[in-house]
Structure 1
Amino acid sequence: MTSASELRSGKTHRDENFPVASWIIHPRHRELILAFYNFVRTADDIADHAMLDAPTKLSFLDLLEAELLGRGETQAEAVILRKALAARGMPPRHALDLLTAFRMDVTKLRYEDWDEVIHYCRYSAMPVGRFMLDVHGESTSTWPASDALCAGLQINNHLQDCGKDYRNLNRVYLPRDALDAVGAKVDELGLLKSSPALLQCLQGLAARNDVLLGEGRPLAGEVKDFRLGLEVSVIQSFADRIVKMLKVRDPLSERVHLKPIEFLFASVGALGSEIARRTFGRGPVSKPAPRA
């Protein structure tokens, strides 16, 4: 097997917990965003592949990186993204950062504390927001709020999927010190229902993540692009609703994902609020900053 495409899980941008290249985004950006998504999805699926050993996963990730940087033409997702970025005069730095996260997924199965989790998010989530901001020509002064929102989305996902990640991949993103503080054990993640101690840990982490998501809330007002501002407001709304569920529910035994009708209502509400804010309220709050 020589093609990373053959290792795809079948998951597409329509299966994510947040919109990817939705109709809100201007059509001129969608081809590039989907090229970025397909590259990232391929690498993610390789890192999570149940039938590959660690050396094979790492070799495929290295191959994707090499071809993203122009050394080869055999991996379609890497070649397509490389050409799409070149057409826009954009470097591949955000995709390269994400490859760092996927290598961590292969080699690192446990996290000691919150800071280690945030360090992981620096490579697994924050580059996605930074990429979107770069695509739209936004200032790097928007990065701190974007980083907070993206990390919060990632941690929401860690909490939602904590049981599945443990059972399928023996991967635990819950900080070890948070588990120890309440007397919870890692192997409890394999149960069908959280113990009182594990539930206390999970809901405590959700409450902490709620604070982090709050740090990302200014982002929609900081970006200048009208459509991107709307997209960010929708994503923030999804994240806020999910963390609210995680603060009171057990992800091992209860639903902690939005239903289609909840997605719809959250989207409509967020769009209406952001349109009203941009029409009648203040404008973007960010100031131009040198691009990094």
Structure 2
Amino acid sequence: MVVESQDAGSSALRADAANAARLAATGVETPSGKDAGDENFPVGSFLLPAHLRPVIATYYGFARAADDIADNPALSPTAKVERLDVMGESLSIDGPESRGRQLARQMADLAQDTRHAARLLDAFRQDAIKTRYATLAELHGYCTMSADPVGRFLVDLHEGGPDAGSPLYPYADGLCTALQILNHLQDCGKDLMVMDRCYLPEEWLAEEGAAVSDLRGEGLTPGLRRVIDRLLDDVDAQLALARRLPPALTSTRLAMESEIIIRLASRLAARLRAGDPLATRVKLSKVDFIVAGVVGAVVGFFRGGKGMRP
């Protein structure tokens, strides 16, 4: 019986390996063509230390590739999860040549691990199979997988690892959760039309007399407007927490970057309060980027990076 169990286990492992090889051979990734220049907020800007920019770029590339798989309407949920599983298996310094292996090696060189990248894959697997969110708590739970690992990754890189960075995680989480919700609000119509996906809490939709189907309209209904404003109230609360991050960091460069992003997020939130994301793309302007960049960099330089934790 023991031999039979071992044979069964070996067969399962061989099947898993064969499946991974098949997906890798046919091309696991399904690139959308988007890159860091398509994002709302800076990704690995010149403000960050030069020696960390390569690993930040690799992390972004890994996340972008996984996101593209989850958002590919041509793939079935099962196919998406299979591909994402292969990406997860690639997060090894001894794995096949891939983005995951490159990231694992770069992180190992910095005495870091890949748990934050692996956590992102949990979010994309969920995106493959889950299209509705009942409550704000459920949405926040998604953000802990889809957004917060990015901030924690950056905190660990700049602050010397998880032991030094853990007390800062709640502040970084506030910023990343705010950014994720803002992105959902920008794309609320597109997400439903293309992916049949809605991140607006169904509980709030019902309370405000709105429905998911309203997102197919050419403009916000009064009910949808109220739901979006409630989510923007949550964004404001998350950003209030995020403002504790820059002075709590010891890295002045990351403090400057954080100050800039906080200001950009606040400006985008204001634009979404005044604008209609179903009628037009609500986005930041070049002036927003310039003002936030200059003011945020100066404030972050003089007030941030003090390592002061309330």
**Normalized against structure 2, the TM-score is what?**
0.87
Q: Is the 8 A contact 2:248 2:309 kept in 1?
A: yes
Q: Is the 8 A contact 1:85 1:91 kept in 2?
A: yes
Q: Percent identity?
A: 37
Q: Is the 8 A contact 1:50 1:169 kept in 2?
A: yes
Secondary structure, in 3 states, of the residue corresponding to 2:179? Answer: helix
Question: What is the CA deviation profile of residues 222-245 of structure 1, one whole-angstrom value per residue up to 9, with x for unaligned ones?
Answer: 110011110010111111111112
Query: Which one of the candidate residues 224, 227, 249 is aligned to 2:275?
Result: 249
Question: What is the CA deviation profile of residues 17-66 of structure 1, one whole-angstrom value per residue up to 9, with x for unaligned ones?
Answer: 11111000010000110111111100000000121111111111010111
Q: Does 1:232 align with 2:273?
A: no
Letter in 2 for 1:67: S
Letter in 1 for 2:39: E
Unpaired segments ≥5 residues, structure 1: 288-292
Separation in structure 2 between the aligned mates of residue 42 and residue 193 of structure 1, nearest angstrom: 32
Separation in structure 1 between the aligned mates of residue 199 and residue 54 of structure 2, nearest angstrom: 32
Quote the residue 1:47 is aligned against.
Answer: 70
Quote the residue 1:290 is aligned against.
Answer: none
Q: CA deviation at 1:261?
A: 2.4
Q: CA deviation at 1:267?
A: 0.9
* Distance change in 2, residues 1:139/1:78 (3 Å): closer
Question: What is the CA deviation profile of residues 132-169 of structure 1, one whole-angstrom value per residue up to 9, with x for unaligned ones?
Answer: 01111253111111111110110011111101101110
Separation in structure 1 between the aligned mates of residue 130 and residue 291 of structure 2, nearest angstrom: 38
Query: Which one of the candidate residues 209, 212, 221 is aligned to 1:195?
Result: 221
Query: Which one of the candidate residues 123, 127, 131 is aligned to 2:153?
Result: 131
Q: Equivalent residues in 2 for 1:54-203 (5 A)?
A: 54-69=77-92, 72-74=95-97, 76-136=98-158, 137=160, 138-203=164-229
Letter in 1 for 2:69: I
The structure that has the greater radius of gyration is 2
Separation in structure 1 between the aligned mates of residue 111 and residue 251 of structure 2, nearest angstrom: 19
Separation in structure 2 between the aligned mates of residue 276 and residue 96 of structure 1, nearest angstrom: 35
Unpaired segments ≥5 residues, structure 2: 1-24
Q: Is the 8 A contact 1:146 1:219 kept in 2?
A: yes
Letter in 2 for 1:2: T
Quote the residue 1:212 is aligned against.
Answer: 238
Separation in structure 2 between the aligned mates of residue 28 and residue 283 of structure 1, nearest angstrom: 22
Q: Is the 8 A contact 2:257 2:300 kept in 1?
A: no
Separation in structure 2 between the aligned mates of residue 285 and residue 4 of structure 1, nearest angstrom: 44
Separation in structure 2 between the aligned mates of residue 189 and residue 275 of structure 1, nearest angstrom: 42
Q: CA deviation at 1:208?
A: 2.2
Q: CA deviation at 1:71?
A: 6.5
Separation in structure 2 between the aligned mates of residue 195 and residue 157 of structure 1, nearest angstrom: 20
Secondary structure, in 3 states, of the residue corresponding to 2:120? Answer: helix
* Distance change in 2, residues 1:238/1:60 (3 Å): same
Secondary structure, in 3 states, of the residue corresponding to 1:50? Answer: coil
Separation in structure 2 between the aligned mates of residue 89 and residue 194 of structure 1, nearest angstrom: 49
- Return 115-124 or 192-201, whichever deviates more: 192-201
Q: Is the 8 A contact 1:203 1:248 kept in 2?
A: no
